[in-house]
Structures are given as structure tokens and as C-alpha cells.
């Protein structure tokens, strides 16, 4: 019975240690991946938004860029601190586990030593004979001897097992201490980043103060931009409705008022493939950072004004080529009197829209393949900004591109 209890104890202890270690290790890996992604994002922000110092940006653009970099840098500092805190907890837990195992080891050693002492005292022939004679039969005496041998071996095995487990945990603890040293270096780097952040915040506050002085002017500019974006959205929706009506008419449906595409088997298969790749779709540009995300959000310039973004705005490099994110067919090219053209590509009942283009390499009806260059993003000659507006539609309704594009 005692052996059974000890076996269960060590089994449960091992399972508990393994499960906790696996869970924490997984969390560390997730945090490290997030930290590396944020570092890469800051690098791209600096390359794409702050490298060309010869171009004088408008205050609206500058405040957006500074605000963006500040938020990413804050996230980086926060994630690194989370890593260090988690690491500290792991070290403390392992130290407690090692201490418990050492106590168990000492108890087993004492028990084992007592057993050895008893065995030594009973080594004489007389004791052996008395031990045998006290048995009711020879078979019982043999079983008693075997039991003592097995018990001694079990005690020894358990002692060795705990020694090995202690050595393993000590090795793990040493590794964690080394990692803590590495994380301390990162925290030191974060202190430098914190000083950079303070400089950026000073710049941010100065820009915001300037905007506050001319609040009416900036508010008017924000509302104007919102109206222009809404106009493009209405145009895209109109074109998609026309395409839906045309697909229903071609399919022989009596009513063309449906809000859904009448898909051919080929188009239905394409839409199914598009959906199956949700979260894995290609970025529309090779290098870029998302300056404005999808959905309703406060304006970075005037937080009291809410803006509605039906897509994302991606800052990219000069002369950046636009890529089709998936196989499809060019639905339409929208020209604008006051702006740059928009390209619509159909993927079954899904449409992707690429706006603010300088060049377009395809025409209506062309079949395009994943990663195929379809145009070039416009670069503003006044401030050097290269911004792609990108949207994803399911029928006439927009969906969040970040849920479809890989790691957006």
C-alpha cells in the first residue's frame, strides 16, 4: 500500500511539473513571437514613415505617424515586461519544486539508511534461520525475502529518480536564470527605448497643441477626407450591385434584385478556396505597415471625431507594386476626377479593392493569379508618402481585412 501511494505521488508530481512547464513555455514562445513582430513593425515604421527627411509632411500626416510609432513602442515595452515577469514566476516555481524534491529525497534517504542498518544487523546465519523458522512454510519465507529485496530496490530507485529530477530542474533553473539575464538586457534596451519614447511624446504633445489651436481647420480636413472615402465606398458598392444583378440575369433568374451573386460552379469553387485561406492570404504589397485599421475609431488628430474605416490604409515604400492577394478576375477599374484610380478584383462572391494607384497593369475581365503584380501605389510628391487603401467585400458588405490577410 505504501509503495502504491508513493508511486501515485511521484506520478502526479511529474505530470504537474510537466504540464506547468509546457504551459509557461508556450506562453513565453507566444510573447517572444509577439515581441519580434513588434520590433519588426517599428523597423518598418522607421523605414517607411520617417526615413525620407527631405520631404516635409503635413502636420496631419506627421501626427498620425508619430502616434502610430508611439503606440507600437509602448506595446513592445509592455510585452517585454510581461516576458520578464513570467520568467521570474517560472524561476520561483522551479525553486520551490526543487526544494520540495530535496525534502522528499532526504526522507527517502533516511528511510533507506534505516532499512540498510536493519538489514546489516540481520545478516547473521542465526537471524536468517530465525526469519525462516518464523514463517509458516518455506514459500512464505521466500516471499518475505523477495519482498524485502524489492522494497530495498524500490527505495533506491526512487532516490535515484528524485536525484535525476532534481538535477533536471536545477539545469532548467540555470537555463531560466540565463534567460532572465538575457531579458534584463532587453529591459535595459527598453530603457533606451523609453527615452526615445519620451522624445516622441514631447513631439506628439507639441503637434497636438498646434492642432488644438487650429481645431476647426483640422476638423474640416478630417470630415472632407471622410466624405471622399465614403464617396469611393458608394461607387464600389454600386459597381458590385451591378455585377450581382448581371450575374443573376445571366443565370436566368427572373428577379435581379438579389443581394447575392449567382455563382457559376467555377466561381463558387473560387469563393470556397478564398474562404479556406482566411487568415493566410497574401499582403497586397510586399512591405508595409497598417496606419489606419478597419472599423469605427477616434481620429488620431482629433479624438472627439469618430471616423469609419471600411478597409485599411497601408504605408509602403516608393514605387511599391500592388499584388493580387488571390486568384480572381478584374471586375472594374474606377477612375476619379479628384483622386487616383481604384482596382476591383472579384474572387467568387468576394471583392478586393486597391485604391490610390499610380499605375494599373491589368484591364477589366483579365484573369489574375495570386501574387501577380496588378499596379503600382501612388507616391505623393509633396510629402513622399506612399499609401495604399485596401478593402475586402463579401457581396456589398465590407469585412475586416486583418482577419483575412496573414499576420495583419
Evaluate whether residue 222 is within a structural domain. no
State how far the Cα of 156 lies from the Cα of 105, in Å rounded to an integer: 10
pLDDT at residue 265, rounded to an integer: 94
Pick from 35, 110, 115, 114: nearest CA to 78: 35
Q: Choose the final residue of a domain: 213, 240, 259.
A: 213
pLDDT at residue 263, rounded to an integer: 92
Residue 251 shares a structural domain with residue 376? yes
pLDDT at residue 129, rounded to an integer: 54
Evaluate whether residue 378 is within a structural domain. yes
CATH number of the domain where residue 366 is located: 2.70.70.10
Residue 283 shares a structural domain with residue 192? no
Pick from 40, 60, 62: nearest CA to 49: 62
Residue 151 shares a structural domain with residue 272? no
Residue 171 shares a structural domain with residue 264? no
- C-alpha triplet 112, 114, 116: angle, nearest 5°: 70
**How many domains would you assign to the chain?**
2
State how far the Cα of 358 lies from the Cα of 375, in Å rounded to an integer: 7
Residue 29 shares a structural domain with residue 178? yes
Residue 305 shares a structural domain with residue 377? yes
Q: What domain range includes position 310? A: 232-403
Q: Choose the final residue of a domain: 154, 181, 213.
A: 213
Count how many residues are written for the chain. 408
State how far the Cα of 142 lies from the Cα of 382, in Å rounded to an integer: 99
Pick from 342, 382, 338: nearest CA to 358: 342
Evaluate whether residue 227 is within a structural domain. no
Evaluate whether residue 219 is within a structural domain. no
pLDDT at residue 151, rounded to an integer: 65
Evaluate whether residue 199 is within a structural domain. yes
Residue 307 shares a structural domain with residue 363? yes
pLDDT at residue 94, rounded to an integer: 74
Residue 119 shares a structural domain with residue 16? yes
State how far the Cα of 326 lies from the Cα of 282, in Å rounded to an integer: 7
Residue 302 shares a structural domain with residue 396? yes
Residue 256 shares a structural domain with residue 159? no
Name the pTM for this structure.
Answer: 0.73
Residue 237 shares a structural domain with residue 298? yes
Evaluate whether residue 180 is within a structural domain. yes
pLDDT at residue 36, rounded to an integer: 92
Instruction: Name every residue whose Cβ is closer than 8 Å to that of residue 17 and which is 6 or more positions away in sequence.
Output: 97, 169
pLDDT at residue 406, rounded to an integer: 94
Residues of the chain with pLDDT under 50: 1-3, 5-6, 9-10, 17, 19-20, 128
Cell digits for 92?
520561483
- C-alpha triplet 346, 399, 359: angle, nearest 5°: 45
Residue 185 shares a structural domain with residue 249? no
Evaluate whether residue 120 is within a structural domain. yes
pLDDT at residue 23, rounded to an integer: 55
State how far the Cα of 220 lies from the Cα of 331, in Å rounded to an integer: 34
Pick from 338, 204, 346: nearest CA to 271: 346
Cell digits for 49?
514613415
Evaluate whether residue 188 is within a structural domain. yes
Instruction: Name every residue whose Cβ is closer than 8 Å to that of residue 197 and which is 6 or more positions away in sequence.
Output: 70, 73, 74, 77
Place of cell 477599374: 333
Residues 208-247 pLDDT 10s: 888 888 888 888 888 988 998 899 999 999 999 999 999 9
Residues 242-287 pLDDT 10s: 999 999 988 887 665 678 999 999 999 999 999 999 999 999 999 9
Q: Choose the final residue of a domain: 153, 183, 213.
A: 213
pLDDT at residue 255, rounded to an integer: 64
Amino acid at each position: 500500500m505504501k509503495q502504491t501511494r508513493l508511486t501515485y505521488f511521484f506520478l502526479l508530481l511529474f505530470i504537474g511539473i510537466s504540464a506547468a512547464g509546457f504551459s509557461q513555455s508556450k506562453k513565453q514562445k507566444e510573447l517572444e513571437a509577439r515581441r519580434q513582430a513588434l520590433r519588426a513593425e517599428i523597423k518598418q515604421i522607421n523605414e517607411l514613415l520617417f526615413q525620407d527627411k527631405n520631404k516635409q509632411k503635413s502636420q496631419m500626416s506627421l501626427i498620425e505617424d508619430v502616434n502610430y510609432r508611439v503606440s507600437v513602442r509602448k506595446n513592445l515595452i509592455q510585452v517585454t515586461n510581461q516576458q520578464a515577469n513570467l520568467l521570474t514566476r517560472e524561476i520561483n516555481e522551479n525553486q520551490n519544486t526543487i526544494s520540495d524534491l530535496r525534502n522528499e529525497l532526504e526522507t527517502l534517504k533516511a528511510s533507506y539508511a534505516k532499512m540498510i542498518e536493519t538489514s546489516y544487523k540481520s545478516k547473521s546465519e542465526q537471524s536468517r534461520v530465525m526469519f525462516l523458522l518464523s514463517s509458516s512454510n518455506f514459500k512464505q519465507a521466500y516471499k518475505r525475502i523477495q519482498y524485502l529485496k524489492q522494497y530495498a530496490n524500490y527505495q533506491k530507485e526512487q532516490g535515484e529518480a528524485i536525484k535525476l529530477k532534481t538535477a533536471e530542474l536545477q539545469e532548467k533553473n540555470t537555463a531560466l536564470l540565463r534567460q532572465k539575464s538575457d531579458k534584463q538586457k532587453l529591459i535595459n534596451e527598453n530603457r533606451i527605448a523609453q527615452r526615445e519614447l519620451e522624445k516622441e511624446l514631447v513631439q506628439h504633445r507639441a503637434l497636438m497643441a498646434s492642432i488644438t489651436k487650429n481645431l476647426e481647420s483640422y476638423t474640416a480636413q478630417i470630415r472632407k477626407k471622410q466624405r471622399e472615402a465614403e464617396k469611393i465606398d458608394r461607387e464600389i458598392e454600386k459597381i458590385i450591385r451591378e455585377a450581382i444583378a448581371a450575374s443573376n440575369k445571366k443565370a436566368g433568374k427572373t428577379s435581379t434584385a438579389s443581394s447575392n451573386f449567382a455563382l457559376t460552379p467555377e466561381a463558387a469553387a473560387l469563393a470556397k478556396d478564398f474562404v479556406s485561406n482566411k487568415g493566410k492570404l497574401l499582403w497586397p504589397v510586399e512591405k508595409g505597415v497598417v496606419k489606419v485599421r478597419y472599423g469605427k475609431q477616434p481620429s488620431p488628430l482629433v479624438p472627439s471625431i469618430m471616423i469609419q474605416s471600411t478597409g485599411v490604409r497601408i504605408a509602403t515604400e516608393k514605387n511599391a507594386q500592388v499584388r493580387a492577394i488571390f486568384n480572381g478576375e478584374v471586375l472594374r477599374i474606377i477612375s476619379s476626377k479628384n483622386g487616383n484610380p481604384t482596382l476591383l478584383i472579384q474572387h467568387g462572391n468576394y471583392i478586393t479593392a486597391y485604391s490610390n494607384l499610380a499605375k494599373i497593369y491589368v484591364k477589366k475581365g483579365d484573369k489574375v493569379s495570386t501574387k501577380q503584380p496588378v499596379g503600382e501605389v501612388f507616391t505623393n510628391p509633396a510629402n513622399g508618402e506612399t499609401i495604399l487603401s485596401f478593402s475586402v467585400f463579401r457581396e456589398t458588405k465590407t469585412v475586416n481585412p486583418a482577419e483575412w490577410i496573414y499576420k495583419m
